[in-house]
Structure 1
Amino acid sequence: MDLPYESEGEGARAGAGAGAGEGAAPALSERELAVLAVERQGWAGPGAKERAIREQLGISPTRYYQLLNALLDDERALVQDPVTVNRLRRVREGLRGRR
């Protein structure tokens, strides 16, 4: 799945909720869904994952982790992929506890 994403802005979200009922939260964007999909995969090592981030999403690993961290606080992501989001929330909380 090649999804070239150059920038994240208001325009990227403008059509995300098209067709959703009034008052309903807009659906996750294609980029957000792609970030969750990358995170669901198993990786042989950090180099493979970072290469896939660049190739599949067209963004830097730093930007990827910024987007991923924001998704962990987004209830829409929890509804979309509760297993992945809850797992990553536990990992994040464990890391915060060690600091």
Structure 2
Amino acid sequence: MTPPDLLEFERRHPGHPPGKETRIIQELGISPPRYYQLLLRAATSPEGIASDAMTARWVRERSARRAAARERRIA
């Protein structure tokens, strides 16, 4: 599974629509937590950015927002 493959999947299924976790397991054959780990790695890789810059940026920004929210809850 390449960074472009992961970003294409995320582009087709943005956010957390109903059934996305099932699609991740069935179509990609990995667990949802592993998908999100690989997706962030894809969004920060040169190959991923070159293949779909807009989706990569959206994924990175979403990740940064969630990290900031976690920090606020911890602090």
- TM-score, normalising length: structure 2: 0.75
2:48 and 2:14 map into 1 onto residues whose CA distance is: 21
Q: Which runs of 5+ in 2 are unaligned?
A: none
Give the structure with higher Rg (CA): 1
Q: How does 1:1-80 map to 2 (within 5 A)?
A: 31-32=1-2, 33-42=4-13, 45-80=16-51
Higher relative contact order (CA 8 A, sep 6+): 2
- Tell me how many residue pairs correspond in the alignment: 69
Distance in 1 between residues matched to 2:13 and 2:43, nearest whole Å: 19
Contact 2:42 2:48 in 1 (8 A): yes
**Within 2, Cα distance between the matches of 1:60 and 1:73?**
20
Deviations 1:24-63 (A, max 9, x none): xxxxxxx123211210024695541111111111111121
Q: Which runs of 5+ in 1 are unaligned?
A: 1-30
Please name the residue that 1:91 is paired with. 62
Instruction: Assess, with a 3 A threshold, how the Cα gap between structure 1 residues 86 and 63 changes in structure 2: closer, same or farther.
Output: same
Pairwise CA RMSD: 2.0
TM-score, normalization: structure 1? 0.59
Post-superposition shift, 1:84? 0.2
